[in-house]
Amino acid sequence: MVNEADISLLAELEPEAERLLENHYATTKEWHPHALVPWSRGRDFEPDYEWSPEESELPAEVRSALFVNLLTEDNLPYYFRDIERMFGPDGAWGEWVRRWTAEEGRHATVIREYLTVTRAIDPVELEEGRMAQMSGGKVPQPPAAIDGLIYVTLQELATRISHRNTGALIDDRAGYDIMRRVAMDENHHFLFYRDMAKASIDIDPDQAVQAMERQIIGFTMPGEGIPDFTAHAKAIAAAGIYDLAAHYEQILEPIVLRYWDLPNLEGLGAEAEGARERTIAYIEKSKRVADRIKARREAREAAAAAPTEAATASVG
């Protein structure tokens, strides 16, 4: 059931939800998992089959990203439960939640079928991870609808970035195309939530700014229940698939500071003003950390390229 405090806000946002839902239908492209999976590369699993890393040409960090991305998608029933609780089952809100759920379900289907056919990840580890993740049922639980809009905007954009960057590291056209297709869907989902959050900011900037503070400071991706999540997250960050530099450059700066225009919102009360100051201070700190991460990465890349350049020069 929707929290009583959210009812008036969601009712006021309903026309915008209807508009954005219709825009989503008009701009998204229908696709089917079976058409993207390279089925001809599959074969039976023998009863005594044991997976070996030699079967996969994917780097370990890419396997980590696919493992986490898939198990996150698998936890969809719990996301549906909480998003429907925040937004309600009726009208444009309910239709959106069900459509979003159906589209996200395709992502789990196509990624799992690709990983199974290509044997890119240990299928036993993958299934045991799915069972652990879904049996735990751990998901972020924003306390109010406005928090949910802020959080899911950040999460959907982060997911798009992660899927797209993962695909770019897959040296296989089928895998690349699958992750590109999934990332395009996630971008449409992000746009819906981004603009719904913007509309809520226009209606109630005080509550929106306080929600931003709660959801931006300490933001984490879904994945708490995934086995070895911290180790996988570190591998994903080290590979540059998704790290604080990406979080600042592609989310905090363009969306929070520019699109939602947090620094320039007017008419805030004392509590919201304090929340804004703390949030901007956090974002400024994130920029400093992001700059250090970028500098270290560029230094590593330059060091790795140096021997090749030296060899080329000596040949010339």
- Token couple for 213: 């503070």
18, pLDDT greater than 80: yes
pTM: 0.92
Residue 311 has what pLDDT?
58
Q: Who has greater pLDDT, 137 or 200? A: 200
Backbone φ, ψ for residue 141 (5° rounding): -130, 80
- Token couple for 244: 């604080």
- Token couple for 37: 């999976």
Q: What proportion of the chain, given as a percentage, has pLDDT over 70?
A: 96
Each residue's pLDDT tens digit, 37-54: 999 999 999 999 999 999
What average pLDDT does the segment 235-262 reach? 95
Q: How many residues does the chain have?
A: 316
Report the mean per-residue pLDDT for the chain. 92
Report angle CA 99, 101, 106 to the nearest 5 degrees. 100
- Angle at which helix 205-216 crosses helix 173-203, to 10 degrees, equals 140
- Token couple for 20: 């954005």
| Residues 66 and 120 sit within 8 Å (Cβ to Cβ) | yes
CA separation, residue 24 to residues 69, 77, 188 (Å): 23, 22, 7
Each residue's pLDDT tens digit, 93-124: 999 999 999 999 999 999 999 999 999 999 99
Q: Is 106 exposed, middle or buried (0-12, 13-18, 19+ CB in 10 A)?
A: middle
Which residue's structure tokens are 């994917």? 58
pLDDT band at 283 (very low <50, low <70, confident <90, very high): very high
301, pLDDT greater than 90: no
Q: What proportion of the chain, given as a percentage, has pLDDT over 90?
A: 78
Note the CATH architecture for domain 4-39+56-306.
Orthogonal Bundle (1.10)
30, pLDDT greater than 60: yes
246-252: long-range pairs with CB below 8 Å, 24+: 246/161, 246/165, 247/158, 247/219, 247/286, 247/290, 248/283, 248/286, 248/287, 248/289, 248/290, 249/290, 250/157, 250/161, 251/154, 251/157, 251/158, 251/161, 252/216, 252/283, 252/286, 252/287
